[in-house]
Structure 1
Amino acid sequence: MRVAAGAAVALGLAACNPPPPRDVSYFVDHPDETTKLIAACTASGRSHECDNAQTAQARITAKARMERYRKGFE
């Protein structure tokens, strides 16, 4: 009986834990979602996931800039 109650409590607590924040590479691969999250973060505040999305946005922008620069030499 105690084991079943302990297992139920453990499962209940596990269900309450939020998922881990998505990393920068996820946001680089999903630029549309990155833009949406950055807009939501601006309205609601900062979190680790917001920081990752902003870092990814900077990388996406830098990559696009570098591609435009390289095309200038073609």
Structure 2
Amino acid sequence: MKRIFAAALCLAGCQAEPRSVSYFEAHPEDAQRVVTACKDGTHRGGECESARAGLAAIEADKRLKLFKKSFE
């Protein structure tokens, strides 16, 4: 019984690392889902800020490409 309890405590304390900004830059659909979930309170933690930053980086890249295209 003690082993089961110890294993349950270990598993409860072992959470996956939050996904990085670069992950969310490469997966905008996931980023949008996480941001939406963060806004409605169903998702919390470090991934909220990483997802927001990933979407911001995607938008900045789009604006930069548009800016560069205007000089062609």
TM-score of the pair, normalised by structure 2: 0.79
Q: Which runs of 5+ in 2 are unaligned?
A: none
User: Structure 2 residue aligned with 1:56, among 39, 46, 54?
Assistant: 54
Structure 1 equivalent of residue 16 of structure 2: 19
Partner AA of 2:40 in structure 1 = A
Q: Deviation at 1:15?
A: 2.3
Alignment of 1:29-48 (within 5 A): 29-44=26-41, 46-48=44-46
Write the distance in 2 (CA, Å) between the matches of 1:20 and 1:14.
15
Q: Helix, strand or coil: the match of 2:15?
A: coil
% of aligned pairs identical? 33
Q: Which runs of 5+ in 1 are unaligned?
A: none
Computing the radius of gyration from Cα coordinates, the structure with the larger value is 1
The two structures, once aligned, show a CA RMSD in angstroms of 2.2
Structure 2 equivalent of residue 71 of structure 1: 69
For each residue in 1:3-59, what CA deviation from the matched residue of structure 2 results, as whole angstroms up to 9, or x when unmatched?
A: xx4xx82x4334222211111111111011101110010001652110111111111
